[in-house]
């Protein structure tokens, strides 16, 4: 991480939010020599980060930068400068300097060698505290001072109101970096309570929507009771998006009591969600045997099966059993199931209706937030000088696979450096 101009120690910056974006902003600020105070509503920092790492801490991805940037969809032009400042390679180098070695998994995802988030967070917090960063837990931001709401003059010191165990406190700082997350997993601190508070300062906020989320399907009681919790793999999903383009991805998903979720679904959650905003329901198409051609499937289904049932025949000739067979029974009537041609077609193109996304509280992340158009290139809010935003508060989204975390780290670094530049008189 390159150095920034050193500012007087009397200068103080408040970082509100102790996730990856906030902590990265705090590190950049501490390197600039300013006093840094991190405030978080929870009893400890990084709670969502630790939860995300429970199944293995996927920190970034190893794919080349061009396809990596493509994961950010319509926000690629705004995310690209952030990753130019701190991209996936820089993140891995930073981790190594922190004492955390990484490896590339078979999927191209990058993990710490021990697969855990907690040791990394401990090492990071130790380094931040050694650098003088102070942490204030159970400090929930509840608004601005009344003078702040009326004052948008450059150079004015923002004053923030926090609710703490000992009552309300006011904190003035020379600059502020907000990194309060989106609206997913509110029990871990990302509750979007900041949205109306930003509105007090006329900061625009795009509606928050679930991202990397599951979707509901109208399962029969039998299918739900028998197959909920089971993975479907390998499988491919084809979807026509709102612009008429065709999305096609292969991977795996999990059947839930209400519908489907998992990495393949998350990768397509944005186009599915946007279709559902326009239509009452969306039909996706499942290819239950993506490794087989349609002709091979037809040949195997139409082979003589003697006295075997069609289900036994499908298991014997194509390995179709369990949840995949259940999906076929869910999609076809008993009569259609014995129609070999139609059955073969459905194996390669099974229609599945999705009726709604799961609630945003269950989503891995959220879309929407403060649009980049309301910020300058250093992520400072245009009409609130000295106030910067980073992480999931911003209006962008990305699939799982390390893309979310990488952009959170990068935005935090850019916001922290932006605050230093602002304080040094170099900000816009």
Last-in-domain residue among 357, 376, 399: 357
Q: Residue 79: which pLDDT band, with cuts at 50, 70 and 90?
A: very high
- Predicted confidence at residue 263, as pLDDT, reads 92
Average pLDDT over residues 146-159: 65
Q: Residue 427: which pLDDT band, with cuts at 50, 70 and 90?
A: very low
The rounded distance, in Å, linking the Cα atoms of 369 and 190 is: 12
High-pLDDT (> 70) share of the chain, %: 95
- CATH number, domain of 18, equals 3.50.50.60
By residue range, what is the domain housing residue 35? 12-210+366-423
Q: Is the peptide bond before 234 cis (omega within 30 degrees of 0)?
A: yes
pLDDT digits (tens, 9 = 90+) for 401-415: 999 999 999 999 999
The CA distances from residue 57 to 241, 384, 402, in Å, are 31, 36, 9
The CA distances from residue 67 to 70, 76, 411, in Å, are 5, 11, 19
| 147 has a pLDDT exceeding 90 | no
The answer to the question of residue 90 being in a domain is: yes
381 and 312 in a single domain? The answer is: no
Q: Which residue, 266, 237, 256, is CA-closest to 367?
A: 266
224 and 300 in a single domain? The answer is: yes
High-pLDDT (> 90) share of the chain, %: 88
141 and 225 in a single domain? The answer is: no
Spell out the residues 6+ positions from residue 126 whose beta carbon is closer than 8 angstroms to its own: none
- Predicted confidence at residue 428, as pLDDT, reads 38
149 and 260 in a single domain? The answer is: no
Q: Residue 130: which pLDDT band, with cuts at 50, 70 and 90?
A: very high
Count of domains for the chain: 2
| 8 has a pLDDT exceeding 80 | no
| 191 has a pLDDT exceeding 60 | yes
The answer to the question of residue 328 being in a domain is: yes
Sign of the four-CA dihedral 352, 353, 359, 365: positive
Last-in-domain residue among 336, 357, 378: 357
The answer to the question of residue 6 being in a domain is: no
The rounded distance, in Å, linking the Cα atoms of 76 and 72 is: 5
Strand partners, 394: 370
77 and 172 in a single domain? The answer is: yes
Last-in-domain residue among 313, 329, 357: 357
Highest mean pLDDT out of 154-158, 187-191, 285-289: 285-289
- Predicted confidence at residue 7, as pLDDT, reads 60
| Cβ atoms 159, 146 nearer than 8 A | no
pTM of the model: 0.90
The answer to the question of residue 428 being in a domain is: no
The answer to the question of residue 2 being in a domain is: no
The rounded distance, in Å, linking the Cα atoms of 330 and 221 is: 11
Q: Which residue, 263, 260, 258, 226, is CA-closest to 350?
A: 260
| 149 has a pLDDT exceeding 60 | no
pLDDT digits (tens, 9 = 90+) for 104-117: 999 999 999 999 99
H helical segments located in 281-402? 294-301, 310-318, 322-331, 334-337, 340-348
- Predicted confidence at residue 54, as pLDDT, reads 78
Other C-beta atoms closer than 10 Å to the C-beta of 383 total 12
Q: Which residue, 120, 116, 145, is CA-closest to 56?
A: 116
221 and 205 in a single domain? The answer is: no
Provide the mean pLDDT of the chain.
Answer: 93
In degrees and rounded to multiples of 5, residue 279 shows phi and psi of -130, 155
pLDDT digits (tens, 9 = 90+) for 27-59: 999 999 999 999 999 999 999 999 887 778 999
62 and 170 in a single domain? The answer is: yes
412 and 346 in a single domain? The answer is: no
pLDDT digits (tens, 9 = 90+) for 327-367: 999 999 999 998 999 999 999 999 999 999 999 999 999 99
Q: Residue 118: which pLDDT band, with cuts at 50, 70 and 90?
A: very high
Q: Strand pairing of 206-211 and 365-369? A: antiparallel
The answer to the question of residue 43 being in a domain is: yes
Q: Residue 425: which pLDDT band, with cuts at 50, 70 and 90?
A: confident
The answer to the question of residue 3 being in a domain is: no
The answer to the question of residue 141 being in a domain is: yes
Average pLDDT over residues 262-267: 94
The rounded distance, in Å, linking the Cα atoms of 237 and 270 is: 14
């Amino acid at each position: 991480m390159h150095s920034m101009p050193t500012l007087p120690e009397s200068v103080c910056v408040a970082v509100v939010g102790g996730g990856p974006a906030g902590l990265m902003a705090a590190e950049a600020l501490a390197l600039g020599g300013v006093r840094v105070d991190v405030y978080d509503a929870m009893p400890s920092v990084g709670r969502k980060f630790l939860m995300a790492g429970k199944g293995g801490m996927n920190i970034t991805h190893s794919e080349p930068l061009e396809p990596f940037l493509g994961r950010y969809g319509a926000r690629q032009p705004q995310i690209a400068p952030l990753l130019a400042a701190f991209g996936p390679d820089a993140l891995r180098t930073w981790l190594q300097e922190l004492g955390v070695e990484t490896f590339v998994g078979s999927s191209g995802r990058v993990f710490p060698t021990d697969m855990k988030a907690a040791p990394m967070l401990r090492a990071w917090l130790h380094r931040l505290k050694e650098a003088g960063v102070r942490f204030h837990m159970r400090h929930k931001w509840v608004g601005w001072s009344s003078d702040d709401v009326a004052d948008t003059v450059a150079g004015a010191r923002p004053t923030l109101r926090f609710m703490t165990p000992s009552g309300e406190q006011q904190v003035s700082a020379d600059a502020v970096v907000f990194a309060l997350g989106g609206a997913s997993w509110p029990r871990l601190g990302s509750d979007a309570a900041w949205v109306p508070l930003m509105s007090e300062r006329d900061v625009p906020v795009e509606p928050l929507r679930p991202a990397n989320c599951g979707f509901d399907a109208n399962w029969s009681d039998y299918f739900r009771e028998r197959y909920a919790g089971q993975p479907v793999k390998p499988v491919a999903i084809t979807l026509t998006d709102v612009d008429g383009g065709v999305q096609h991805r292969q991977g795996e998903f999990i059947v839930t009591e209400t519908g489907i979720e998992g990495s393949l679904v998350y990768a397509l959650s944005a186009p599915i969600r946007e279709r559902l905003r326009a239509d009452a329901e969306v039909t996706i198409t499942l290819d239950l045997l993506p490794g087989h051609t349609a002709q091979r499937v037809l040949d195997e289904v139409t082979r003589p099966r003697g006295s075997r049932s069609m289900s036994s025949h499908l298991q014997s000739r194509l390995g179709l059993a369990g949840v995949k067979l259940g999906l076929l029974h869910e999609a076809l009537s008993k009569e259609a199931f014995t129609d070999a041609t139609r059955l073969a077609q459905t194996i390669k193109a099974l229609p599945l209706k999705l009726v709604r996304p799961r609630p945003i509280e269950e989503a891995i992340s959220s879309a929407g937030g403060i649009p980049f158009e309301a910020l300058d290139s250093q992520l400072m809010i245009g009409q609130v000088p000295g106030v910067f935003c980073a992480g999931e508060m911003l209006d962008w989204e990305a699939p799982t696979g390390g893309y979310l975390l990488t952009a959170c780290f990068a935005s935090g670094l850019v916001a922290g450096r932006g605050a230093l530049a602002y304080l040094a008189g170099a900000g816009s």
